[in-house]
Structure 1
Amino acid sequence: MKQKLALVAIVVDDYDSAIDFYTNKMNFELVEDTVMSPTKRWVVVGPRGTDGCRFLLARAANAEQESRIGNQTGGRVFLFLHTDDFARDFAQYAVNGLRIIREPSIEPYGKVAVFEDIYGNLWDLIEPLNL
C-alpha cells in the first residue's frame, strides 16, 4: 500500500485574506481556488517547488469552528516548514512582518526559529542538518 499526507486543513476567517497572507507573506503558491457554493470555496496553497503536503484553507462555518482559528493545537507549534536556506527565508519573513516568537537557534536537528502566521498558529522554520 502506498499513501501520502496530501492536505492539512487550516481553519481561517476569510479566504481572500488567508490567500494573501500565505502567498504574499510566506511566498506559497495558490494551487487551487474553486467555488463550491455561494459560501464555500476549495482553496489549496503550499510551498513553491514541491508536490508534498499542502494546506486546505477552510473558512469557519460556525462559532465552534471560529473558536479554533489560530489555536488548532492548544498553543503548541502546529506546523513544521523545512527549508534549504534558513537565512533567506527567515530574512524574508522578517521583512514581510511575520511575528517571530523564538529567535533562530542551533539544535541537534538543525537551525530553527518559531514564528506565527496571520491567525497566531505557531510554526517552526527549520533547516535540517540532513536536508
Structure 2
Amino acid sequence: MIRIHLASVFVDDQAKALDFYTRVLGLEPRQDIDMGDGNRWLTVGNPGAPGVELLLEPSAHPAVGPFRDALVGDGIPATQLAVDDLDAEHERLTGLGVTFVQPPMDFGPVAVAVIDDTVGNLIQLAQLKG
C-alpha cells in the first residue's frame, strides 16, 4: 500500500516559515534536523495527530524562484490546508495580520480562501462541507 507521508513547500526563510506555520496557523513542529550550510530538515504537522508532515524546504535551488513566481503570479496555491470553519479562521487570521489574497468563497460542497504565507507561497484554506 502506498500512503502520503510527506509533502513540501519551498520557503525563503525557514525560521520565519516555522513561526508562521506554528504560531500563526497552529500546526506543530515535528522534525528539526541541521542539514549543514544553514539548512534544516524542518517539518510541521497536525497538532496531536501523527502522520503526514509538511516539509518547509529551503528555496535556494535556481528553478524554485521562477516556478513560484509563476504560481503566485497566476494565483495558484502551493498547497491546501483543511479547516473546520473557514469564516472563523478568516476572522482569527485577519486579526493576526495574515494577508488573504482571496477572501472566503463558497463553492457548494467546499469553501476556500487563499493566504500569503509570508515566505513566498500562496496557501489555500479549504472547508469541506457535509
* Smaller-chain TM-score bracket: 0.7 to 0.9
Partners of 1:29 and 1:47 within 8 A in 2: yes
Alignment CA distance shift 1:103-1:78 (3 Å): same
Q: Name stretches of at least 5 consecutive residues in structure 1 with no aligned partner.
A: none
Instruction: Give the aligned residue type for 2:129.
Output: L
Return the TM-score normalized by structure 2. Answer: 0.80
Alignment size in residue pairs:
128
Alignment CA distance shift 1:101-1:24 (3 Å): same
Alignment of 1:86-101 (within 5 A): 86-101=86-101
Q: Aligned equivalents of 2:60 and 2:78: distance in 1?
A: 21
Q: Give the RMSD, CA atoms, in angstroms.
A: 2.3
Q: Which has the higher helix share?
A: 2
State the secondary structure of the residue aligned to 1:77.
Answer: coil
How far apart are 1:68 and its partner, in Å? 5.0
Q: Which residue of the partner structure matches residue 128 of structure 2?
A: 128
How far apart are 1:79 and its partner, in Å? 1.6
Q: Name stretches of at least 5 consecutive residues in structure 2 with no aligned partner.
A: none
Identical columns (%): 27
Instruction: Give the aligned residue type for 1:88.
Output: A
How far apart are 1:58 and its partner, in Å? 1.4
Q: Which residue of the partner structure matches residue 67 of structure 1?
A: 65
